[in-house]
Structure 1
Amino acid sequence: MNSAGNFNRKSSSRGVYCLFAFLVVFGFLLPLKVPAQDSRDGSSFTASLLNIEAPVNETFRYQATLTNNSDQARIYQLSAEMPEGWRVAFKARGSQITSLNVEPGRTESLTIEIRPAYGAAPSTYPVPVQARAANETLSLDLEAVIEGSHEMELTTPTGRLSGEITEGEKAEILLQVKNTGSLALNDITFSSQTPPNWQATFSPAEIQQLDPGETMDVIAMLSVPDKTLAGDYVSKFTAKNAPSTSTATFRMTVKTSMLSGWVGILVILLAIGFVFYLIRKFGRR
């Protein structure tokens, strides 16, 4: 009785082990057959580079090939799943396209151009691209890696870079520095190039940190010395930190003061009077 029971238990154990082994083998083999359904005839969609790293203001260009290994021509519709604000363009044979006709057994080259959204944060962005024909869909998984950038712009709130001043006076010029990059700007300092004997000071003299997209006003106090001749003069104001710099060229028109004008007129009148006096005095002889 015990032998029969042991035999039955061993048989049951073998059956469980066989069933388990079958499920394991079947479970591994089944997924291996799924990818073959993407292209039954061996057609392919590939790229020489799948991952490109560049600044946010540049265009990412991927060189791809589309191969039709079927026995008939196929028209592939091209599309891409883009992050919000991004743009994509497909180019082949010198033209921008949305679909591509590939003859049987032929391979066509195309360029995929991806333009990131303005101000996209530094990160890795997946860009799935697909080529769809009537009977199949070929996929290509691209990646665009946005580099961080240090960029700034120095200008005025209105964009106007000119003004007027009277000799011997001071003028406040409102400047504006903006972080146009994707990384924070630290330790921004200011400097100037002015005509001889002119002076410029800045308030604040330094910006400790300016985050991406932020703007800060800076006052440049420009001093013009006395007896400066009337005319147009150019001054250059520069904002700078270790990785970036920006310069604004400002044209200042100098006018003479009213007092200087009256003094000049008086000098001219005195000169004319003195000449007239000499003529009358020596003209009698």
Structure 2
Amino acid sequence: MRALTGFWLTTPHPELAIRPGETETIPLTLRNSNLPPQRASLEVSGIPDGWKWSVKGGNREIGAVIVPPNAAEEVKLELTPAPAASGASVPIDVKARYGNETADLPLIVKLSDTSSAGLELKPELPGLRGTASSTFSFKVELTNKGAEENLINLAANVPEGFQTRFKRGYGSEEITGLPIEAGASEDVTLEVTPPRSAPAGRYPVLVEAAGGGANASAELSIEVTGQPEVALTGPQERLSGEAVAGEEASFPFTLANSGSAPATNIELSATPPSGWKAEVEPKRIDMLAPNATSQVNVKITPSERAIAGDYMVPVRASGGSLSESAQFRVTVNTSTMWGAAGLGVIAAAVLVLGMAVMRYGRR
């Protein structure tokens, strides 16, 4: 299948209702698929006299946008009809000129009576910041400005792989909508959970409400910060090894950072059983980049009196909020010298017993 190639200017709702004198924010998305970076100049036509409008990006008025290959840029068109505006509908045209081409987006704005239904979404905080393992909770006030009670349906537009759910107030039950009386407001909570593999960056979240012939939307954003994730593996990716009582044994460990941010100031240590010795080299790693590994040598000397068997030696890596521990099993074998000495003692005892039998057995 051939990859889709082109440049588009889109919006979720090309037909919408606005009350005269009130400002409506219309989200616009410029998407570049498999083309070189495109500089798109934005033009808006069809705005009636007395209306106010502006195109904004990052809360600033803009006239052009550069869209990298296989990426999308979000901007918004703010429209404020004149307080005395009238008419059934107003056609407005938004164009994005890139190179010798033009992406055209026709809009239809219907002027709603001040007594007709209306919705308003007011987020407490428009942006939140956290790691990829965080759950981002937005508190949003939803107001029914209509003259009748309506069932308001809720939806959230998030990047692929992100999970969302709505709750009423600070409750625990998930909802998809709720009834709101005329002129009343309700608090809803939108929870957004990014995938654990989400790279660091800013991600747009569009929350939408619709019901009773009216709709409203609010633009939110979450900033995912990088997070280190370290893991310790033993020799040949095993967490076991053998040692001889009283003799030093060396075990090569690997410390890996599979996270999206560097791991810094990592302290390394090992906790052996009583009477044993353990040493880790190096004892400290200043920085381990994402997707990087570092070799760590763990030297363990069992006690000379250690009985043959299995013993656990925890090996730890910690620094800041990081804490990783690997339980390393050491199988202790007794020294061959002590085995030979034991055989010598047994042989001597047998020899003495034999000589005694030969000497006294003749009597």
Matched with 1:136 is 214
Structure 2 counterpart of 1:73, from 149, 156, 161: 149
Report the CA distance between 1:88 and its aligned residue. Answer: 0.7
Matched with 2:288 is 210
Whole-angstrom distance in 2 between the partners of 1:159 and 1:60:
36
Report the CA distance between 1:239 and its aligned residue. Answer: 2.9
Matched with 1:200 is 279
Say if 1:180 and 1:213, in contact at 8 Å, map to a contact too.
yes
Whole-angstrom distance in 1 between the partners of 2:201 and 2:301:
47
Deviations 1:57-87 (A, max 9, x none): 1111112222223233323232212122211
Say if 2:234 and 2:240, in contact at 8 Å, map to a contact too.
no
- Residue 254, structure 1, aligned to residue 302, structure 2: no
Q: 1:47 to 1:173 in 2, by over 3 A?
A: same
Matched with 1:59 is 135
Q: Does 24-33 or 51-60 show the bigger shift?
A: 24-33
Q: Secondary structure at the match of 1:26?
A: coil
Task: Show structure 2 runs of 5+ residues with no match.
Answer: 1-46, 54-77, 83-108, 357-363
Matched with 1:9 is none
Look up the equivalent residue of 1:54 and give its one-letter code. G
TM-score of the superposition, structure 1-length normalised?
A: 0.70
Whole-angstrom distance in 2 between the partners of 1:159 and 1:57:
26
Whole-angstrom distance in 2 between the partners of 1:159 and 1:68:
60
Say if 2:117 and 2:213, in contact at 8 Å, map to a contact too.
no
Deviations 1:83-130 (A, max 9, x none): 222111112254112232334333332211111121323333221111
Q: Which has the higher contact order (CA 8 A, sep 6+)?
A: 1
Q: Does 172-181 or 137-146 show the bigger shift?
A: 172-181
Matched with 1:109 is 187
Q: 1:246 to 1:255 in 2, by over 3 A?
A: same
**More helix by proportion, 1 or 2?**
1
Look up the equivalent residue of 1:255 and give its one-letter code. N
Whole-angstrom distance in 1 between the partners of 2:139 and 2:246:
63
1:173-252 superposed matches below 5 A = 173-186=251-264, 188=266, 190-195=268-273, 196-202=275-281, 209-224=287-302, 226-241=304-319, 244-252=322-330
% identity of equivalent residues: 29
Deviations 1:216-237 (A, max 9, x none): 4544343445453323333232
- Residue 33, structure 1, aligned to residue 33, structure 2: no
Q: Secondary structure at the match of 1:260?
A: helix
Q: 1:37 to 1:64 in 2, by over 3 A?
A: farther
Report the CA distance between 1:254 and its aligned residue. Answer: 1.0
RMSD of aligned alpha carbons = 4.0
Report the CA distance between 1:262 and its aligned residue. Answer: 4.6
Report the CA distance between 1:174 and its aligned residue. Answer: 4.1
Say if 1:84 and 1:117, in contact at 8 Å, map to a contact too.
no
TM-score of the superposition, structure 2-length normalised?
A: 0.57
| Greater radius of gyration (CA) | 1
Say if 1:125 and 1:143, in contact at 8 Å, map to a contact too.
yes
Whole-angstrom distance in 1 between the partners of 2:195 and 2:221:
15
Whole-angstrom distance in 2 between the partners of 1:84 and 1:115:
11
1:43-58 superposed matches below 5 A = 43-58=119-134
Count of equivalent residues: 259
Whole-angstrom distance in 1 between the partners of 2:194 and 2:250:
39
Say if 1:151 and 1:245, in contact at 8 Å, map to a contact too.
no
Q: Secondary structure at the match of 2:50?
A: helix
Say if 1:231 and 1:255, in contact at 8 Å, map to a contact too.
yes
Look up the equivalent residue of 2:81 and give its one-letter code. K
Whole-angstrom distance in 2 between the partners of 1:135 and 1:166:
80
Q: Secondary structure at the match of 2:338?
A: helix
Q: Secondary structure at the match of 2:200?
A: coil
Say if 2:148 and 2:182, in contact at 8 Å, map to a contact too.
yes
Look up the equivalent residue of 1:248 and give its one-letter code. A
Matched with 2:99 is none
Matched with 1:90 is 166
Look up the equivalent residue of 2:158 and give its one-letter code. M
Whole-angstrom distance in 2 between the partners of 1:84 and 1:158:
37
Task: Show structure 1 runs of 5+ residues with no match.
Answer: 1-22, 279-285
